[in-house]
Amino acid sequence: MSRLSFLLMIAVMASALYLVRTQYESRSLTTEIDRATSLARNLETENDRLDVERRAQATPLRVEKLAREQLHMRTITPAITQYATVPGGVAASVPAEVRP
């Protein structure tokens, strides 16, 4: 009888230790997840920030300034434009809605 009790006690102890270990692991995993999520969020905001910066480099104001001053370009007019009509007649009058 006492041997059985002893065995059960060992089992209880083992289980308790295992529980502690699992709890510990679960907590460290949660920490990891949390760290990863905040990293993801940081990267996302970083991405947003870079998007804005890229846009700031490509605003019409800056593009026009650079085109005029550095590349010596001028605004085009119909007089210096050659219009080509694509067979099938689609492309010519379709606005160029191109995402940057």
Partner 1 sequence: MSSRSVQYTSSPLLASKTPIWRSQFIVAVIAAGFLGLVARAAYVQVIDNAFFKRQGTVRFVRTLDLPANRGRILDRHGNILASSVPVPSIWANPEDIERDPAKLKALAKLLGMNPAELDKKLQDEDKTFVWLKRQVDDSVAKEIAALKIKGVYDRKEYKRIYPEGESVAHVVGFTNVENLGQEGVELTFNKALGGKAGSRRVIKDRLGRVVEDIGEMVPPVDGEDLQLSIDSKVQYFAYEKIKEAVLTNKAAAGSVVVLDVKTGEILALTNYPSYSPGKRGNLSGAQLRNRALTDTFEPGSTMKPIVVGLALEKGLVTPESTIQIGNGKFKVGTATITDEHAHGLLTINQVIQKSSNIGASKLALQMQPHDMWEVFTQVGLGQKPQVPFPGAVSGKLRAYKTWRPIEQATMSYGYGLSASLFQLAQAYTVFAHDGEVVPVSLVKTNQSVMNGARVFSSQNAAAMRNMLHLVTIQGGTAPKAQTMGYAVGGKTGTAHKVEGKGYASKKYRGFFVGIAPIDNPRIVVAVMVDEPTNGAYFGGDVAAPVFSQTVQQTLRMMGVQPDMAVKPQVVTKVEKESF
Binding site for partner 1 (CB under 8 A): 26-28, 30-31, 34, 45, 48-49, 51-52, 55-56, 59-61, 64, 75-83, 92-100
Region of 69 on the Ramachandran plot (φ > 0 left; ψ -120 to 50 alpha; else beta): alpha
Compare residues 1 and 79 and give the one whose CB is closer to partner 1. 79
Min dist CB 1 to partner 1, Å, is 27
Compare residues 15 and 49 and give the one whose CB is closer to partner 1. 49
State both tokens at 12. Answer: 């209880």
State both tokens at 48. Answer: 């947003």
CA gap 5, 60 in Å, rounded: 83
Min dist CB 4 to partner 1, Å, is 28
Residue 51: burial class (beta carbons within 10 Å; 0-12, 13-18, 19+): exposed
Min dist CB 21 to partner 1, Å, is 14
